[in-house]
Structures are given as structure tokens and as C-alpha cells.
Amino acid sequence: MSKIIASAAIRGAREIVAQAEAMFEKVREEKGESIDVGYPDTAYYLPMAHALLGVNIEKLGQIKPVLAHARELLGNVPPDRLWFPYLGTTLDAGIATLLAEEIITVFRYLYAQEPQPGCNGFFSDTILRTLGIQLVDGRMPGFAAILGAAPDVDTAVHIVRELQKRQIMVFAGSSTNGVSIVDQLAEAKVQMGWDTYIVPYGRDTISAIFPLNWAIRAAMTFGGLKPGQSRACLEYCKNRVFAFGMTLGEVDDFKYATGAGAINMGFPIIADTNIPEILPTGICTYEHVVRELDHKHIVPRCIEVRGVKVKVAEIDIPVPFSAAFEGERVRREDMHCEFGSKYSAAFEFVHTRNMDEIEDGKIEVVGPDIDTVAEGGSLPLAIYVEVAGRAMQKDFESIIERQLHHYINYAMGIFHMGQRDIVWVRVSKAAFASGFRLQHFGKIVHARIHDVYGKIVDKVQVKIISDDAKVKALLQEAKHAYDDRDARIAGMTDESVDVFYSCTLCQSFAPNHVCVISPERLGLCGAYNWLDGKAAFEIDPTGGNKPIAKGRVIDLKIGEWEGINEFVYSTSNRNIESISLYSLMAKPMTSCGCFECILAIVPEANGFMIVNREFPGMTPCGMKFSTLAGSVGGGNQTPGFLGVGRLYVLSRKFIPADGGLRRLVWMPKEMKTYFGDRLKARAAEEGVPDLVDKIADETCATSGEELVEYLAKVGHPALEMESLLELL
């Protein structure tokens, strides 16, 4: 352990803790110890203190013991002439720093000083869960927390673009000599936000606690760890959250102290200045503190030191290509041309051919190219993809077709929305100036289909059509195919197949969770259905999706089969002995943390409520989504509570053992609007055509008492059904 680093980290920690203590006294004097304190939109109180110390801080007075603990962790700065082991003292100083930074920033929220202008501030639980599927499917392999500022704007942009190309989420903030990378990126007009993988957290080092307490929440959200399991939470971060810190410019005492805190979590620090290094492994997977003075090499060095597994897509197009660019928007003033929406006809279609009917790699442009269009103009567009393969099946067409949205969006400067015949595409002026033309849509599609679906697709041929008459003629063919697919999928039921599919992608974060996907029950993340599982197994038989033979029926009413139970027991590390697919009350499936919605029992209403993760308000069960989710996730089996995909509500297998749709007594208004006539049609099928009007929302009930009163007034059928508690 470097004496220079130890001294700086301890000095910084002592100053940050002193600052937190002074702010505590100020707040106590001005507002009193009973004032409420906390971050917005989280069920984890002050997450670092909650995870490491097991405390639930809601009032100012509850902070005092945490401050005292932080003070106890502080050692003395090493004397100049005395040498002794510094590691333990430095790591303790790092933990003290994290606890104190959390307290300082929560006080800033109390005084409306956070989030800082142009910055995100505290990262909500909702964001963590929303990104869950990207964390586990490889689209977001790691995280970079940048502290400071690059030597110039161009270097700042270069570093961030290199991280984006590798699909690394960038948390940008802190400052060097009064300059922040946040402002450097803003000056270069770089789009920042969760959608573009660049999130500004704040302009000072203390605000770096935001990405760190976001990381520690993953241990409790996905890993099922309990508050106070400090060592387990820190080890979870080291082993499953692939983050690192990158310091740009001078590393002052505050950055050393915060870096010491990050090292406790297994996150190494890479600097662009000539600081001492800590190379032996131990707390981190590999090195702890490393310097890389060449900005062209700093990103690869970071990835190497943290052990992040990245895959950079190399496609012959004139713009960068990465999932990090998927969230970019191309505004009208930045647009060269567009296709679809209300401006022209546009569609995408994937069609299976025989092997001898197409030529792999053939890309044909039919019609005018975008260099013939006046700036701001539009063209019709058909992306007509023909595929062939010995393992290709017609059922896979829609799966591949659905991915075109993502693939095209991965190109920097290209905006894509929708699918089938409701697509809308824009090409930015910058992409056009870089040489992007219609043929490049074909190159993207050809390369990505081979890369992702190479096990089932042997040949890919693409036609990019911009001739209006030909687009409209082919559109009719595509619409017939869309209708045929919909009819085929609508006819699939759980009874019509002998196998369901597992999904264990989330085990990288929730080791004991196993999702079972059937034709009538999609994955709880909402991103995978039965056909997705089937295709994924064909592509990678050793991957996260495997067929499960249902086997002997144990209880058809609740949806329990011997083969499913055996698979879940062995795959959940022998934690879950049996599950049901059709009941919320008896042996419900486990949940990880990236579920779209939560179903929860409301005993006094004799029914269930459902809440989506985007809904921020109170629910009739007395908890907001974030609090509720803390009890449901982590691979736990909790009768009466269940994480589900949003569209499961429309399934004919929606908790039929418990009474199905008739049990649904409350949902947010936004969900009612989203389901619209589809939910009314399902209710009519169930024999209760007026059910949707009887389901309460937040405009008429946010407590159990209000809910029961409303249900009685409208005559909701759940009140007349068998008691739910008898089903336990």
C-alpha cells in the first residue's frame, strides 16, 4: 500500500466526515432532529448506510450514530518517518467517506441543492430495475465513473465515445481545477442521459456517492442480500457489478478518499496522472490503482484492470456502432432526412427462403438514395430481409424482425422507432456527412443477424427499397404475413406444447432465481416470450434459455408439473423445491429484480393490485413500488406477491387458480390506458364486460380503506369471491 495514497485518502476522509458533522449540526439547529431526511424514489433509505450498517434512516436524529461510526473508522494520517501497514486504515477511511458523502448529499436534497444543474443527482430504484435486463443480457457489460475533466473537450468526447462503443455505462462528474467533464460534454453537444449511456451525476467529488450507492443497491435488489450484510454486499459488488473509477486530471484528497471507498467495493481506480500504483490483487479482482497517461489507451486499460468482458461490433459503416447509441434522438433541426411515420410509407419484413433462393451478403438498393433528397426531406422505405438456414423456422421470423429496431438504432446518428409497418427512421446531418447511405442499413442488418443468429441463419440477403410504388406493393405482402403470424401465435397455448423454456439470464445478479416461460406467460422482465426462449436455445444450447419437459402433472389447477419442479430445484441452487405457474398464493414463481410490474394481495379487498415500476405513488397495500419490490426480488418465493411482465395481465392464464382477472381490484391509471380495449376484451371473455370500470386506480383509492369503499360502491366481483386467505 502506497504511503502517499494512504495519507491522502485519510486526510480527505477526515475532512469529508468533518463536513458531514458540521452540516448535521447546522440542520439540527435549523430544523430539529425530527425532520424527515432521505433520497427521492428509493426504498433503501440512505443506501450505503442501509446496506453496510443495516440502519433505516428516516429522521435527522437517526444520522447521529452513523456519523459516530464514520468518525470511529478514521485513523491518523501516517507520520513522515514511521512506516507501518496502511491498507486496513485506508480502507476504513474509504468506508467512512462513503457514509459521510451520503449524509452530505442527503442534506443537500433537504435544502434543494441537488440535483445540480444539468445533472441527474441520486439514481432512483426505478432506473436500477429498468436497466436490469440490459445488465444481464450483455448490452451493458460494465460501468465507468469518471471524476474530473479531460485536458480538452475533444479528449473528453473521445474517452466517452470509446466507452460507448464498448457499451459501458458512463457516470460523469466531479471537477479538476474548476472544470467538469459534464460541462465539457455539454459544450460538445453530446447527448447525455440514461438512453445514451452517459449520466452526469454532479460537478463535485462528493456527488460521486450517487453511482456508488446505486451499485450497492444491486446487492439487495437483485442479489437478495439483507441490510447489514456488509461483507456480502461488498463482495457482491466486486463479483457481479463490473464498475471502475477513472480520474482525469489532478487526484486530490477527496478523490483519493472516495477512491478508497470504491476499492472496498472491488472497483479499481485508473488515473491519467503520474500517481503511485497499487498493483497486487486482493480487494479488487486485479490491480487496485493504476495509471495510464495515454488517453488513447486509457479505456482499454480500464477494461483490462476491471476484467470487463466487452464485445465491440465491427461493421463496415461510416459511423460508430454500439448499443450505447440506441437512446440517441435525432431532432428535426439535426436531421438530413426521414422515412415513415406520417411522412411516407415504411416497413420492415423478414422472410424465410430456401437456401438456393438467396445470396448471402447481397445488399440491393432499389430507388433513390438519401443523397438525392433535399435536407429535411423524406423517402418511403422498405427493409426487406430474406434469410435461409438449415435450423431456421418460420416462427423465428418475427423474433429476428423485432431486433431490427435495436440494430438500426445502434448506429450513431440514426433514429429508429416502431416495427412492422409503423416504423419511423431518421438520418442525422452528421451521419449523412460521414457518408451514411441506404446500403448501410443493409450492412448493419446482415452483420448483426449473422452475429446474433448465426446458429440458425446461414444466409442473409437485404433489399433496401425507396421506390414508392414498389414499397407499397411489397407492403401488402408483408401485411398478409403479419396477419398469418399473429393468428399462429394467438393459437398457441400452454396445453399445445410439451415443453416450456427457462430463463436464467438474471442469475448473474440473482443467483437463485429461475424464470419459467410458457406460451401464455412471458418472462417477468417483459422482454422474453416462449418463442424467444425457443430461438435462444437453438442459437446457444448452453445459454440461459433451455427447454423444460413439463412431465407428470402434479396439480393442473395451479399449474404445477414434476418436470418443472425438478428443473427449478436443481437450477435454483436447490433453494426452490416447487413452483406453480397459475397461482399467486400457492408456490408462486420467484422474482429477480427487473420485473415490469408487481402483483400483490390486498386482503381487505379480497383481491390483487398490480403496480408498474414507473408509478411513483402510494398503493393500497401501503407501500410504493420500490418498497414493495424490496420484499419480492432477489430470487425469493413470497406467496401473495409476484413480479410479472406487463402483458401477462392480458393472458388467459393470468393467475387462473386464484380467480384470474376478477381478482384484479387496483392498477395505476397509466396501465389502464396502456391496456385500453385489449383489457376490456379479455374481461368480456371472462364474463365481466364492465370489470375495467370497476378496477380502482390512484384517482379514487390509494389506501386499503378507500379501495374497499370504492369496490363496494361499484360492486366489484372480488368482494363476492372465495376468501383469498383460504387459498394460502
The residue type found at 66 is: V
User: If we measure between CA atoms, which residue out of 408, 498, 519, 398 comes closest to residue 453?
Assistant: 398
Confidence of residue 81 (pLDDT cuts 50, 70, 90): low
Give the number of other Cβ atoms within 10 Å of residue 366's Cβ: 15
Quote the pLDDT of residue 508.
75
The residue type found at 713 is: K
Average pLDDT over residues 327-341: 93
Domain 495-727, CATH class in plain words: alpha beta
pLDDT tens track for 395-451:
899 889 989 999 999 999 999 998 889 899 999 999 999 999 999 999 999 999 999
d(CA 546, CA 413) in angstroms, rounded, equals: 37
Q: What spatial distance separates the first Cα and last Cα of the chain, rounded to whole Å?
A: 56
Lowest mean pLDDT across 198-212, 307-321, 338-352, 546-560 = 307-321
Quote the pLDDT of residue 351.
95
589 DSSP assignment: P
On the question of pLDDT at 136 being above 70, the answer is no
**What is the percent of the chain where pLDDT is above 90?**
79
Quote the pLDDT of residue 85.
57
pLDDT tens track for 593-606:
888 999 999 999 99
d(CA 405, CA 422) in angstroms, rounded, equals: 11
Average pLDDT over residues 345-360: 95
Contact 248, 265 (CB under 8 A): no
Radius of gyration of the chain, Cα coordinates, nearest whole angstrom: 27
The grid coordinates of residue 258 equal 472516495
Contact 431, 321 (CB under 8 A): no
Quote the pLDDT of residue 279.
85
| Most confident among 130-139, 619-628, 712-721 (mean pLDDT) | 712-721
The DSSP result for 661-690, as a single string, is GGGEEE--HHHHHHHHHHHHHHHHHTT-TT
Average pLDDT over residues 148-173: 96
Lowest mean pLDDT across 72-86, 351-365, 623-637, 684-698 = 72-86
User: If we measure between CA atoms, which residue out of 242, 43, 134 comes closest to residue 525?
Assistant: 134
On the question of pLDDT at 303 being above 60, the answer is yes
Quote the pLDDT of residue 608.
97
Quote the pLDDT of residue 83.
56
Tell me the three state secondary structure of residue 558: coil
Taking each helix axis from N to C end, the angle separating 209-221 and 87-110, rounded to the nearest 10 degrees, works out to: 100
User: If we measure between CA atoms, which residue out of 188, 221, 205, 276 comes closest to residue 3?
Assistant: 276
On the question of pLDDT at 627 being above 90, the answer is no
Contact 210, 233 (CB under 8 A): no
Quote the pLDDT of residue 146.
98
Average pLDDT over residues 11-31: 98
Confidence of residue 1 (pLDDT cuts 50, 70, 90): low
The DSSP result for 136-155, as a single string, is HSSS--EEEEEEE--SSHHH
Level-2 CATH architecture, domain 3-306? 3-Layer(aba) Sandwich (3.40)
Quote the pLDDT of residue 137.
66
**3-state SS string over 158-188?**
HHHHHHHHCCEEEEEECCECCECHHHHHHHC
Contacts (Cβ under 8 Å, ≥6 apart) of 558: 580, 581, 582, 583, 586, 587, 657
HSE-CB at 651 with a 13 A cutoff on CA atoms is: 25
List the Cα angle 266/19/220 in 5-degree steps: 35
527 DSSP assignment: S
On the question of pLDDT at 240 being above 70, the answer is yes
pTM above 0.85, yes or no: no
On the question of pLDDT at 379 being above 60, the answer is yes
d(CA 562, CA 556) in angstroms, rounded, equals: 11
Q: C-alpha dihedral over 550, 551, 555, 558, to 10 degrees?
A: -10
Lowest mean pLDDT across 27-31, 134-138, 186-190, 678-682 = 134-138
What is the residue extent of each domain of the chain? Answer: 3-306, 331-487, 495-727
d(CA 379, CA 383) in angstroms, rounded, equals: 13
Quote the pLDDT of residue 663.
97
The grid coordinates of residue 296 equal 488513447
On the question of pLDDT at 363 being above 70, the answer is yes
Confidence of residue 325 (pLDDT cuts 50, 70, 90): very high
Lowest mean pLDDT across 227-231, 339-343, 688-692 = 339-343
Quote the pLDDT of residue 282.
84
The grid coordinates of residue 576 equal 426452490
On the question of pLDDT at 485 being above 90, the answer is no
pLDDT tens track for 46-66:
999 999 999 999 999 999 999
Contact 517, 501 (CB under 8 A): yes
d(CA 708, CA 690) in angstroms, rounded, equals: 18
User: If we measure between CA atoms, which residue out of 269, 264, 167, 285 comes closest to residue 219?
Assistant: 264
Quote the pLDDT of residue 438.
98
Level-2 CATH architecture, domain 331-487? 2-Layer Sandwich (3.30)
Higher pLDDT, 353 or 725: 353
Contact 643, 591 (CB under 8 A): yes
d(CA 479, CA 471) in angstroms, rounded, equals: 12
Confidence of residue 484 (pLDDT cuts 50, 70, 90): confident
Quote the pLDDT of residue 487.
81
- 85 prior amide bond cis, ω within 30: no
The grid coordinates of residue 39 equal 433520497
User: If we measure between CA atoms, which residue out of 662, 523, 654 comes closest to residue 595?
Assistant: 523
User: If we measure between CA atoms, which residue out of 609, 554, 544 comes closest to residue 581?
Assistant: 554
Contact 45, 114 (CB under 8 A): no
Backbone CA torsion sign across 718, 721, 723, 728: negative
Confidence of residue 75 (pLDDT cuts 50, 70, 90): confident
| H or E segment to which residue 132 belongs | helix 132-136
